[in-house]
A and B are shown apart, each in its own frame.
Chain A
């Protein structure tokens, strides 16, 4: 079945460091790929998405590129801030009224 694997956390970085959170997926067909962010005590918010191979999703300085050849959708940000501390979820939707989420990666950013 479809699945999403993302790197285990927590990831701890200093402010202004470069962030990468790895995400790979298994799916039949051509899924849409997403990154969601969950701040403490809140629901998930859609951060960015890509719907076809080689698409780059971007938002708030975060980027991810849909790589079909490596079945990956890694999240990157050039300079993290303390306010980026949250849990990040990679997800895929291949239709069928169901989105599959990865296990989440907790990010701590120190001042």
Chain B
């Protein structure tokens, strides 16, 4: 059983479209995250949710809207996609504040053309 699963794995779309990425974890963790990894492998946190409550929103454009229907799911919706949104998006989960480490999903490679 996959611990943190993201779908889709690849997403190619045109500028201006709206798309969603889904994430689910079966570890019983209470905190979930979205990270963006750019082409140079740099990882930057976008959002973190604890028990479905938004805790961190790191200067991400309003076009990005996370939704956590329950503790096991954290989805990311992106409106009006831009070329600069092309990246790999990772979902992760942890227990509590993350001081014992994260479990990552395998990533969603988003390409905006």
Residues of A within 8 A of B (CB): 31-32, 34, 36, 38, 41-46, 49, 51, 87, 89, 93, 95-99, 101, 103-104, 106
Residues of B within 8 A of A (CB): 4, 31, 33, 40-43, 45, 48, 50, 55-56, 90, 92, 97-107
CA distance A48 to B3 in the complex (A): 18
Known contacts A42-B106, A43-B106, A44-B104; is A98 also within 8 Å of B99 by CB? no
Known contacts A44-B90, A97-B55, A98-B48; is A32 also within 8 Å of B99 by CB? yes
Contact of A93 among B43, B55, B99 (CB under 8 A): B99
Q: Enumerate chain A residues within 8 angstroms of B55, measured Cβ to Cβ.
A: 97
User: How many Å from the CB of B100 to the closest CB on chain A?
Assistant: 7
Q: Is the CB of A46 within 8 A of B102?
A: yes
CA distance A106 to B41 in the complex (A): 10
Q: Is the CB of B104 within 8 A of A99?
A: no
Q: Is the CB of A95 within 8 A of B99?
A: yes
Known contacts A43-B90, A98-B48, A103-B42; is A93 also within 8 Å of B106 by CB? no
Q: Is the CB of B40 within 8 A of A99?
A: no
